[in-house]
Structure 1
Amino acid sequence: MQHLRSIPLGLLLTAVLLGGCQSSAQQAISSPQIKQYPASGAGFVQVAPSKRYFQFEDGTPFVIIGANEAMTWPDLDGLYSNTNMKRTEAYLQMLHDHGVNTIRVMAEYSQDGVHNFESPLGTYTPETISYWDQLFQLCEKYDLYVLLTPWDTFWMSKNWDTNPYNAANGGPAQSKHDFLTSPAVRQAQKNRLQFMINRWGNSKHLLAWEILNEADMWWEATPVEIREWVDDMSAYVKATEQQKLGKTHMVTFSTAKAVPDGVLGETVFNHPNIDFANTHLYAEPAVNAPRNAIDAAVSFQQDIRGGQAVMKSPKPFTDTESGPITEWITDHSFDDEYFHNMSWAHLMAGGAGFGMRWPYLEPHTLTETMRTYELAMSKFARTVDWTHFASHNIDDQLSVNREDVRAIGSGDESQAIVWLLQDTSKYTYRDLTPDKIQTFKDATLIVKGLRAGRYEVRFWDTYKGELLSSATVPDDQGSLTIKLPPFSKDLALHILKP
């Protein structure tokens, strides 16, 4: 494990802001020493002792920063058939340089029938296998971690007539329903998983197996049938890796429903073989067809809080797909703000990272501004000890003395992260002129539920990833009263024991 680095930051809150400098009052810290954790560590990524986040085997903390990618999209298609490897490598280096640590990629792209993993079933497509060999090599070079989804279920279902699992094409499935229920299909699926484990299972840059994408949407299966499939496949992956490697990567699967209930909800949030909960946060219209940059953040806050509420014991929870799927946003400044707000809401509400955008842009890649926001996210993330932060959502323990400021947060008994967002949702983004955005100069935040004692509070600029100032605040009978520095759109806080 690399040694932690200390970053001296000489930033002061003014005496007027602090309301004095007696020992019983909030006091500025003139040169706070901020630990910065390494971006990666040794071994596989696993669930941390905190249960809400991740770590490497050596204890280095990890949270997800990144987005969805695909082998046919402009930035990664250069690896396929070696058409433009330099462009793909330059793109992956750019991701690394902007603090990105994770990409979610499906093992195939079944839209055109050319980029299948197998064709026919049981015959692995050489160009696709070569693509993955090279992608893992580049991810190891640029320290990126792959959330790998073995099947492109959306296009498989849409193009069922040409799907290699279809009996009409020599496969074992008589119908879509068979994809999750037929023993013969399951054996073919296990053959693919065995191939992938044998070929890439040794890589520490395989973040996790997302064994099925949107299990509730494409295969006409009941929640019980989905659970039975997850039982079978998750146990197979773990047993196969344990036998071959002596350890396992994390296993997850996703649903299209944000917070499923009943049998499906139990499978997502409480299944013993599913290491982290993983759903897609496509709220309509807040996320799918947004009119402002606030409602989607509120939707994320509610969904992550709702997911945590149905867990019988804590585990990480992350969105792995979201964005304006119904109405793509043509105004990039609007989209950048929408992306920024959803990302910070995801982390601060209790997500195991910043969520994973599906681009819904033309060309199909995130904007340059979104990349600068990812870098800002990484700067903040690397100052938090996620390994030991046993957080839960604490929205109901936060209060601000301004009705037009929303407070979103997570915490345990000795630490909290809080995001304050100016609520301008009464305006559409088009109507949100600068004169309608306030600057708060006298706001106060009250945080309850922390263990008694004195706390350090760090105030962060979320757009730049910069520490604005730091102060110590005394606890008052289980409650912290924090005088906030002036802020406009938003402000992030990290509250911890000095």
Structure 2
Amino acid sequence: MTMTLCHDEDITMRLLLLLVLSVGGLLRVAASQPLESTDRGYVWRCGDEYVRFDRGRWTAGIEGEAEFAWDMVLWHDQWIYETLAGGEVDAPPALTDERDQAYAFRLNLLDRDFAVDETVVLENTISFAQQPARYPGQIEPGRQPLAIHGVTPATARVPQYSKLELCVALDATYDNPFDPDDVQLDALFTTPSGRQCVVPGFFTVEHRCEVADGVEVLIPQQESGWRVRFTPQEIGRYQWQLRLRDRSGEITGGGGTVECTPGNCPGFIRTSKSDPHYLAFDNGDGFFPIGHNLPIYHTTGQRGADAMRKFAAAGENFNRWWMSSSSLGIEWEDQIGWYRQDVAARIDQTLELAAELGQYYMLCMDTHQDFREAGWERNPFNVRNGGPCATPSDWFTDEVARRHYQKRLRYTVARWGYSPHVLCWEFGNEMEGWEGASDEVKFPWHKEMSDYLRSIDPYGHLITTSFWTNTGPEQYWDLENIDIVQTHCYTNDDNNVAQTVRRYCLRQWKRFDKPHIFGEFGIRSHSSTADKDPQGWAIHNALWAGLTSFAAGGPMPWWHENYIDPLDLYFHFTALARFTQDVPLGSARWTLLETEPPEFVEVERPPQPRDIVITPASQWGKPEHNEFVIRRDGSIEDERTPQQHLHGQSHQHLKNPPAFVVDYPAPGQFVVRVGRVSASGLLKIWVDDELQCERELPCGEGLGKESVYRPQWKLWETTYDEDVAVDIPAGTHRIRVENFGRDWVTASSYRFTGCQVLVRPNVLVCGMQSESLAILWLQNLDSSWYQHGQGTVPPVAGFQLVVRGLADGPYDVEWWDTWKGVPVRADQIEARGGGLLLTVPELQTDTAAKIRAR
């Protein structure tokens, strides 16, 4: 068979070629047919066979009845490839096509292999081998009487917090070895202190990992069977007894002992006993997570192991892994209740590597992408695929779905709960994304599942969840068994991210006695970051603001494969890791460092009037506040932030229009930057209760800078990106903005011209103190990613800062270069009258300090 491929644009995505074959014959095709455009790609069909291409403008032609030119042996659920007769395999051959239940051949080609308008001809061959009596990794039902034949421990002595693995030879009657209602193995351990704990066992298919041309291929082996993984936490002799159940009854047996000896592992990660806002190991050592997100590593072109070694070399010790359909999700076979064993083997390897590298993972067990749109279409829980759920919302309420989720939790704990390198379990990535699911169904589900997970996890791993609305609904964080408070924040504005990070951190620190982690962070949620901030100023500022504002770990940026890795921005994490190496985060209690407002060293400086720009938050919902008092330095009293959406007539229940109280030293302007408008807008602006401006903002084809029709809501959405301005006289005024249009208007920013008078240094001061150490970060507020991109970062002239709350006496102050992560200056300063006077020379960007009593 001859196939010709050609693309007519220089795209940067992969081409996925999928041929579904019938067994025992050649793929016969008629003359070429044109590709049809679909929402999920381009599809060519011929009878029951089809060729599918990912998005991009491609053309294809298929002629003749020749055999493919790939020399491969085809078995039911595994390709074993021997020689390559042309082209490159960029990913391992796949198993059967999940939905069509047919033999499938997948070939990943990259656009870099083709020039624009170049036609490439591939001549390929496939041969079929005789099927063996038993395929590698084939899972067969059990049909023997209940029996435990023997137990083989991996060792008779195991160091504390290290893995003991038991291989259990057993017989039972079952259809699905992954279903604990069908067959269930447990180990009952008695600790040296007499405490008893139940450790679930699990069924596994062994896999061998081979690497070919930088690609990992996991090959199933004939070996499969039952395992128990256990991590002893006490020194001394442990005893165990096995319990086995199936549909016929229950037996016990297979007992044994193991000796736990002292080891080097610090233990599992807990909420710190010294300070509930931080993390610590069982031995009391603190743990401060530093890392960035790499949840779906195979899309990056990097092997997971290679990426993790690169992380570790830079001082990163933390990452989030998604158990999703496209990554490490296990329940993605054609039926629920069956678990992908090649993926499970990959997680095994990941945790073994974590132990080698000293890294810890937040294991996220689901993500919203699998429960909406195309993800839901192929989700095995979908009723159209044989599952129990008509909608994604049913996943939270349907009894069968909830029970299967608990079974998956049990398997997860059984197979990976042994590892101290699982920092925590995360129920889901951004729970608002489950299409159509409200808090009325999600909140009780979180209560039920967190209680259940706590009850079956013998090691008591921490538990969390996450939301895309920044800090998420507070009621979830109040649940007893939700241990870590999470924030996901994409600012989607041009503001200084340090102020945003600090605001969220202080809010969560004051509200919850729990660790708070920025699980995701970025300046843009959908568009490119590399072109906006190639040096990583936003990463830098977020990391240091989080460190000095009670975050339990460094905020975790997104965009590994197209930003952090190609631009080699790892040094930002290295610098933070070096600074925190001797900071007792998690092993001491921390409080807010009290400081007086900084003052210029030069006593008389003329005021520097500048514009005040307020960037609203991009969250949805009714704003909590509608009155904003703006100080002369540009800050807002009570750290309030207006919301971006100005709701109109269709969302009356969400309306709470903002008003600003501001002092104009001289006549100026109030400027609203109008972004997007839905359906239509009518913007009105009052100054001191007098209407000063009325601006219609219609929506429709050809209006504004861009207009898009939203068929799901049957309306037009128009982007204006225009300023609406009113003149303001000198003096203090109250300015109110309201939208009377059909739907919402977004205010990208509010500008008050000439209102910021800097009588003090334009510096952000962030600091904390423990009994033995104070840390301080000082940032030039103009040193933001946006201002660096504009090339306008004026330095702050020399200033002084008084630190309060320290006992009188001599102190060593160590100043750090935060970009390189090295100390650059040491001062010896005497604290007098409860104050320590620090002098800072000209501040170009930022600096950090460690303050210790001498």
Provide, for residues 180-218 of structure 1, a one-character-per-residue CA deviation record: whole Å limited to 9, x for no partner. Answer: 222322211111111111111101111111122212332
* Residue of structure 1 equivalent to 2:427: 211
Separation in 2 of the partners of 1:304 and 1:213?
20
The DSSP-based 3-state class of the residue aligned with 1:331 is coil
* Residue of structure 2 equivalent to 1:83: none
Separation in 1 of the partners of 2:342 and 2:811?
56
* Residue of structure 1 equivalent to 2:488: 280
Structure 2 residue 537 is the aligned partner of structure 1 residue 331: no
* Residue of structure 2 equivalent to 1:380: 579
Separation in 1 of the partners of 2:811 and 2:383?
64
Structure 2 residue 762 is the aligned partner of structure 1 residue 407: no
* Residue of structure 2 equivalent to 1:90: 306
Shift in Å at residue 253 of structure 1? 1.1
* Residue of structure 2 equivalent to 1:391: 590
* Residue of structure 2 equivalent to 1:118: 332
Separation in 2 of the partners of 1:115 and 1:151?
7
* Residue of structure 1 equivalent to 2:414: 198
Shift in Å at residue 224 of structure 1? 4.4
The change in CA–CA distance for 1:360 and 1:483 in structure 2 (over 3 A counts) is same
Deviates most, 458-467 or 418-427? 418-427
* Residue of structure 1 equivalent to 2:790: 431
Separation in 2 of the partners of 1:190 and 1:337?
43
The change in CA–CA distance for 1:274 and 1:453 in structure 2 (over 3 A counts) is farther
Separation in 1 of the partners of 2:850 and 2:399?
50
Q: Which residues in structure 2 correspond to 1:63-82 (within 5 Å)?
A: 63-74=288-299, 78=303
User: Partner amino acid for 2:500?
Assistant: S
Shift in Å at residue 164 of structure 1? 1.1
Identity of aligned residues (%): 25
User: Partner amino acid for 1:60?
Assistant: D
Provide, for residues 123-150 of structure 1, a one-character-per-residue CA deviation record: whole Å limited to 9, x for no partner. Answer: 1112211211211121122121111001
Q: Which residues in structure 2 correspond to 1:244-283 (within 5 Å)?
A: 247-260=459-472, 264-268=473-477, 270-283=478-491
TM-score (norm 2): 0.47
The DSSP-based 3-state class of the residue aligned with 1:129 is helix
Greater relative CO (CA pairs within 8 A, separation 6+): 1
User: Partner amino acid for 2:569?
Assistant: M
Separation in 2 of the partners of 1:41 and 1:398?
43
The change in CA–CA distance for 1:253 and 1:483 in structure 2 (over 3 A counts) is same
The change in CA–CA distance for 1:254 and 1:481 in structure 2 (over 3 A counts) is same
The change in CA–CA distance for 1:157 and 1:411 in structure 2 (over 3 A counts) is farther
* Residue of structure 1 equivalent to 2:359: 144
* Residue of structure 1 equivalent to 2:318: 102
Separation in 2 of the partners of 1:175 and 1:135?
33
Structure 2 residue 237 is the aligned partner of structure 1 residue 45: no
Separation in 2 of the partners of 1:221 and 1:450?
51
Separation in 1 of the partners of 2:476 and 2:542?
26
Separation in 1 of the partners of 2:310 and 2:560?
20
Provide, for residues 419-457 of structure 1, a one-character-per-residue CA deviation record: whole Å limited to 9, x for no partner. Answer: 111121697433225xx43264x3212223445554432
**Which stretches in structure 1 are left out of the alignment for 5+ residues?**
1-39, 79-87, 286-290
User: Partner amino acid for 2:475?
Assistant: E
User: Partner amino acid for 2:486?
Assistant: N
How much is the aligned-residue C-alpha RMSD, in angstroms?
2.6
Structure 2 residue 274 is the aligned partner of structure 1 residue 55: no
The DSSP-based 3-state class of the residue aligned with 1:64 is coil
Structure 2 residue 567 is the aligned partner of structure 1 residue 359: no
The change in CA–CA distance for 1:471 and 1:156 in structure 2 (over 3 A counts) is same
Shift in Å at residue 412 of structure 1? 4.6
**Which stretches in structure 2 are left out of the alignment for 5+ residues?**
1-263, 600-759
The change in CA–CA distance for 1:278 and 1:187 in structure 2 (over 3 A counts) is same
User: Partner amino acid for 2:598?
Assistant: V
The DSSP-based 3-state class of the residue aligned with 1:275 is coil
The change in CA–CA distance for 1:217 and 1:420 in structure 2 (over 3 A counts) is same
Shift in Å at residue 277 of structure 1? 0.7
The change in CA–CA distance for 1:450 and 1:117 in structure 2 (over 3 A counts) is farther
The change in CA–CA distance for 1:455 and 1:188 in structure 2 (over 3 A counts) is farther
* Residue of structure 2 equivalent to 1:231: 447
Of 784, 795, 803, the match for 1:447: 803
Separation in 1 of the partners of 2:325 and 2:809?
54
Separation in 2 of the partners of 1:357 and 1:398?
32
Separation in 2 of the partners of 1:453 and 1:62?
31
User: Partner amino acid for 1:152?
Assistant: T
> Do 2:471 and 2:486's aligned partners in 1 also have CA atoms closer than 8 Å?
no
User: Partner amino acid for 1:63?
Assistant: F
Structure 2 residue 491 is the aligned partner of structure 1 residue 309: no
Provide, for residues 261-281 of structure 1, a one-character-per-residue CA deviation record: whole Å limited to 9, x for no partner. Answer: xxx31322x322122211201
Number of equivalences:
426
> Do 2:780 and 2:843's aligned partners in 1 also have CA atoms closer than 8 Å?
no
> Do 1:334 and 1:429's aligned partners in 2 also have CA atoms closer than 8 Å?
no
Separation in 2 of the partners of 1:457 and 1:105?
39
Of 828, 831, 834, the match for 1:478: 834
> Do 2:362 and 2:425's aligned partners in 1 also have CA atoms closer than 8 Å?
yes
User: Partner amino acid for 1:248?
Assistant: G
The change in CA–CA distance for 1:256 and 1:478 in structure 2 (over 3 A counts) is farther
The change in CA–CA distance for 1:368 and 1:374 in structure 2 (over 3 A counts) is farther
> Do 1:318 and 1:351's aligned partners in 2 also have CA atoms closer than 8 Å?
yes
Separation in 2 of the partners of 1:453 and 1:276?
38
Separation in 1 of the partners of 2:777 and 2:572?
15
User: Partner amino acid for 1:318?
Assistant: I
The change in CA–CA distance for 1:307 and 1:387 in structure 2 (over 3 A counts) is closer
Shift in Å at residue 65 of structure 1? 0.4
* Residue of structure 2 equivalent to 1:300: 501
Shift in Å at residue 408 of structure 1? 1.9
Shift in Å at residue 483 of structure 1? 1.9
* Residue of structure 1 equivalent to 2:348: 133
User: Partner amino acid for 1:122?
Assistant: G
Separation in 1 of the partners of 2:299 and 2:381?
28
* Residue of structure 1 equivalent to 2:775: 417
The DSSP-based 3-state class of the residue aligned with 1:322 is strand
Separation in 2 of the partners of 1:225 and 1:392?
38
TM-score (norm 1): 0.78
Shift in Å at residue 321 of structure 1? 0.8
Q: Which has the higher strand share?
A: 2
The DSSP-based 3-state class of the residue aligned with 1:189 is helix
The DSSP-based 3-state class of the residue aligned with 1:354 is coil
User: Partner amino acid for 1:276?
Assistant: I
> Do 1:417 and 1:492's aligned partners in 2 also have CA atoms closer than 8 Å?
yes
* Residue of structure 1 equivalent to 2:75: none
The change in CA–CA distance for 1:275 and 1:424 in structure 2 (over 3 A counts) is same
